[in-house]
A and B are shown apart, each in its own frame.
Chain A
Amino acid sequence: MTDSSLSKNTTGRRPPPPTERIPVLRWIKENLAQTPFNMLVTAICLVVLFYALPSFLEWGVIDATFFATDHTVCREATGACWAVIGEKHRPMLFGVYPYEEHWRLLTAVIIYISAVIMTMIPLFWKYRILVPVWLFTLASTLTLMWGGVLGMPQVDNSQWGGLPLTLILFSGTLVIGFPLAIVLALGRRSTMPAVKAVSVVFIESLRGVPLITILFVAVNVFPLFLPQGLEFDKLLRVMVGMAIFFACYQAEVIRGGLQAISRGQYEAAEALGLGYWQTMTRIILPQALRISLPGIVNHIIAAFKNTSFVLIIGLFDMLTATTAVMQDPEWRRFTIEAYLCVGFIYFCFCFALSKYSQLVERWLGEGKKF
């Protein structure tokens, strides 16, 4: 580590190494046709592309209907019917929320996504900016969705659905689940036997159960144990269920990062007189989270897609809402197009997440070499 940083410093004044230009043919030879096996794979891929691409383009673009006021137009065309999205996008995105109130959800989603984007930019990483931003975001989005004030009719959260519900479940899972994951990971490495035992049992028992079971228990079984009259909101219960599931997996990922930190880091912190929580929050966790970032993002992306499991307990997230909308007999045969569209929206969110995590990894790694 020391040697490489030294050589980097001393080579600063020498001319840079010559840039290598790779001719196209050499690139093809090296990357596509280096061995007979590679040639075979390349050939197979080319054949598949040759047959699949034109017919997909024909179906999806050339013969497709993009705008139609009536489903009969689509039925006459041989290609895809993208018009179904124009026709059905509102119930797909917003579920069973009252139609004329959809502007409230749209505004809420825009406010929320803007806040998320702000949070992702290091320029705004200051308490005095982010705390007010998120307080405003929470207050405004919840007010918009609940209504009941400022002349907006109240909409019960059993009617929430579509993209906003997906985002609420996802954010709730992260906000509750991530701190829980850290506590569980630290607990499992604790020297206190009771804390350790509780963490191990919690993680191992809940990790071995399918998410669907946890959601089912949270919604249908958990209320049976509550005293009469005491009731938690269904949406909240679902969120906590998902968060616990998320936390059990994430805790193990974080524990992997914790194990990579050398004993010397703990000792140096102890020798300086730092307490347990000071050592963890300032020294150990920042390094451990950085190390386990790829795994962490993996589970965050999984958590985003897991929100679609709420269909089994009767909540209409984006995917379930689409399924429900496509029961419409007039548009039924164009379900594939609708699902492709929903798939694309999921992809955009997940892809943005993974790209962003790569950026964060770069920022955190700059000049630090650990």
Chain B
Amino acid sequence: MNTGAESSMSQQEDGELAIELIDVNKWYGDFQALCDVNVSIGRGERVVVCGPSGSGKSTMIRCINRLEHHQRGKIIVDGIELTDNLKNIEAVRSEVGMVFQSFNLFPHMRVIDNLTLAPMLVRKMPKSDAEALAMQYLERVQIPEQAYKYPGQLSGGQQQRVAIARSLCMQPRVMLFDEPTSALDPEMIKEVLDVMVELAEDGMTMVVVTHEMGFAKTVADKMIFMDKGEIVEIAPPDVFFTTPESERTKTFLNQILTH
């Protein structure tokens, strides 16, 4: 991979951690979006982040690949600390895939070109290799027959699966999902979650912001509950769903599980 990333990784003693957030703070103007956030995520670990809207969960995972910058604290991804150093940011971004709520496919390119663009430009992969890789991942998300269509011709569920395949084409070590099913019609949610479950079974390190508690129960190794920019509770799912410690977690779970 990236030589810069490897050398700084070998300097890091704790190579088993994929992502580490230490006392991370972020403000939007006067509003504090993240407040002393501490999280460590190991390699191969699946973490589901939940919480009410405006609780900072999206902000937190957007900080992990620097779509937002934090003002205080430390974020270390794959042994590389995120600072203003552009080289580090680029190294982290090419190791971290991200799937958005609104898919964000490139509408002027065919599906296959959406997938091959980054491997060719960032990884300098030859076109034929990139296309082979793209087809491999399209098969994995079960829509190889859509390769030569434009995103606008696909359904929402198909578009989100293309978006997942596009991230996977960069062969990332970590995948971030920012409410991947929130913009989908109910009947399409399952097809996207199925792809994500399969990805989890393959051992990908995943951080997922979602309200799909069924999904969380199946795949999560660790649940994180956030409220008002703070991490309220971190627990394994069996503990989290049955005997949560905090009152706020209980209220939240009651609200979303009994609607």
Chain A: residues with CB nearer than 8 A to chain B?
1-2, 5-6, 9, 262, 264-265, 267-275, 278, 282-283, 286-287, 290, 364, 367-370
Contacts and interface: CB of A to CB of B under 8 A. Distances in A.
Interface in B147-162: 149-150, 152-156, 159
Given A2-B155, A5-B152, A368-B107, A273 B118 contact: yes
A368 B118 contact: no
B107 A370 contact: yes
Closest 7 CB pairs of A and B: A369-B152, A268-B104, A273-B94, A370-B107, A272-B118, A271-B98, A264-B104
Contact of B152 (A262, A267, A273, A368): A368
Given A9-B153, A369-B153, 18 more contacts: A2-B159, A5-B155, A264-B100, A264-B102, A267-B104, A269-B106, A270-B67, A271-B65, A271-B97, A273-B122, A275-B90, A278-B121, A278-B122, A364-B108, A367-B149, A367-B150, A368-B152, A370-B152
Contacts of B65: 270-271
7 contacts: A264-B100, A264-B104, A267-B104, A270-B65, A271-B100, A368-B108, A368-B152
A270 B93 contact: yes
B154 A283 contact: no
Nearest to B158: A2
Q: How large is the interface on B (under 10, 10 to 19, 20 to 34, 35 or more residues)?
A: 20 to 34
A268 B105 contact: yes
B107 A6 contact: no
A268 B107 contact: no
A367 B152 contact: yes
Interface in B195-236: none
Contacts of B163: 268
A1 to B, nearest CB: 6
A271 B108 contact: no
Interface string B9-22: 00000000000000
B97 A286 contact: no
A310 to B, nearest CB: 38
Contacts of A275: 90
Contacts of A286: 108
Contact of B154 (A5, A262, A364): A5
B7 to A, nearest CB: 18
Nearest to A369: B152
Nearest to A278: B121
A140 B65 CA distance: 53
A369 B155 CA distance: 13
B102 A272 contact: no
A264 B155 CA distance: 18
A273 B92 CA distance: 8
Given A267-B100, A286-B108, A367 B122 contact: no
A367 B151 CA distance: 9
Given A272-B167, A282-B117, A370 B108 contact: yes
B153 A367 contact: yes
A274 B121 contact: yes
Interface string B51-95: 000000000000001010000000000000000000000100110
B160 to A, nearest CB: 11
Contacts of B149: 367
Contacts of B107: 287, 368-370
B166 interface: yes
B170 interface: yes
B187 to A, nearest CB: 11
B209 to A, nearest CB: 14
Contacts of A265: 104, 106
A272 B153 contact: no
A6 B90 CA distance: 37
Nearest to A4: B152
A272 B170 CA distance: 7
A290 B108 contact: yes
A234 B117 CA distance: 44
Nearest to A9: B153
Contacts of A370: 107-108, 152
Contacts of B97: 271
B104 A5 contact: no
Contact of A273 (B67, B102, B155, B170): B170
B152 A272 contact: no
A287 B150 CA distance: 14
Contacts of B153: 5, 9, 367, 369
A81 B57 CA distance: 80
Contacts of B150: 367-369
Nearest to B157: A2
Q: Count chain A CB atoms within 10 A of each CB in B90, B93, B104, B155 and give the residue with the most.
A: B104
B39 to A, nearest CB: 20
A332 to B, nearest CB: 55
A12 to B, nearest CB: 12
B104 A273 contact: no
A272 B116 CA distance: 11
